Amino acid sequence: MIYENDEIPYFYNLVDEYRHLAKYNDGFSYNMVFVGPGWLNQMGRWEAPYSLLKKSYEDGLGYYGKLKKEGKLVDMTMEEFGHFFKENKDYDDPQCALWKDILYGSDKQYFWYADPFLRTCLDFNQGGAMIDFRPYAAKLDWKVGIGTDHIYDASYPYLIQANYRAGYFTHYAGAGTVKSAKVIYGKEEIDLCLKRTLATYSKVGEDTLITADPVTLHFSDLDVVIQSKFLFEKGKGIIKIERNILNDIGKNKITIEEYFAGAFGTTEYQEDMSKIILGCLKEKKDTHIRFSYKDRMIKKDNVSSIYAKIPNVSTLLSMGGDNDSCLINEGYAFSPIYRLALKKTLSKGGMSTWLKVRKAD
């Protein structure tokens, strides 16, 4: 065991020494395990039998103890880990992890990214769709606890949350909160949310690059191979996204629609959206609408950017890049989301767009 004299700590952290502890320029891994004495009582508090709980406890700590003896692990209390983190990480260093499911063998991958500007999650079981997005750039003074407006709910508000606001797979397909891309060929369209893939992690200078494996979209008489790339720029609150055609589709043309379907809140119950401003900028001319649940749209060609200003959470979200046109939709009461989309028609090459979040004026 790691601890002597049968001591059972309440929390501890385990840090794998892939690099010397002096500085973690290439990252680190940790594992926080709850090992309270409840694991070893026989009062029937847990669903599993006592013998299995005892074996799990001993096997788990025994494995960590073995790693520690081999010099591959350092055990820390939460306080010690906090000091270690402050000494080895700067405030604006992004914290990210490309997670792969190994427990159930599904090969699902999720990429979590957090910095002072945003937190997000990409789901590669849905083609790299963004299924969580939090606007940290807003720096909300979100008081929680007794005597505040948020007694029990300590969550930071989301703009995208697939579990609360249904994501792509809702009874209105594509009408939940999610960021993804559609590929349109004639009257057919395929959302990348419907294509499973995997991804790889790399660094580009101080920025973080996530590259998805190519996926093949099967239309009635055309196959299109698409690869997605996501570049997270350090210290800017900007994500750059590429959708590239990798095969020869001849003279056929497809349209790529990069979209952001968003809402805001902390639960599955959507709050009042009537303060949201949706708009686009073209040659310094601002065209916008105020959210009124009327399902209105704005369509413009070759815009410089499109945006959603959400005063409720002090956030300005904008998108721009290589596009032929844009589409903005306010949604309605039974589908309370706003939708921002950029479109480009092409037969080779790709489409590059950016997503930016900052505090609203």
pLDDT in tens, 207-249: 999 999 999 999 999 999 999 999 999 999 999 999 999 999 9
pLDDT digits (tens, 9 = 90+) for 123-176: 999 999 999 999 999 999 989 999 998 899 889 999 999 887 777 766 565 578
Provide the pLDDT for residue 89.
86
User: Which of 48-57, 161-170, 316-325 is the least confident region?
Assistant: 161-170
| Cα–Cα dist 116/56, whole Å | 38
Give me the mean pLDDT over the 57-80 stretch: 88
Task: Kindly tell me if the per-residue pLDDT of 267 is higher than 60.
Answer: yes
22's tokens = 């002096």
Q: Is 326 exposed, middle or buried (0-12, 13-18, 19+ CB in 10 A)?
A: buried
Question: Which H or E run includes 132?
Answer: strand 129-134
| Cα–Cα dist 340/329, whole Å | 7
Provide the pLDDT for residue 122.
98
Residue 306: pLDDT band with limits 50, 70, 90: very high
Residue 45: pLDDT band with limits 50, 70, 90: low
Task: Kindly tell me if the per-residue pLDDT of 19 is higher than 50.
Answer: no
Between the alpha carbon of residue 213 and those of residues 108, 128, 225, 227, the distances in Å are: 13, 10, 10, 6
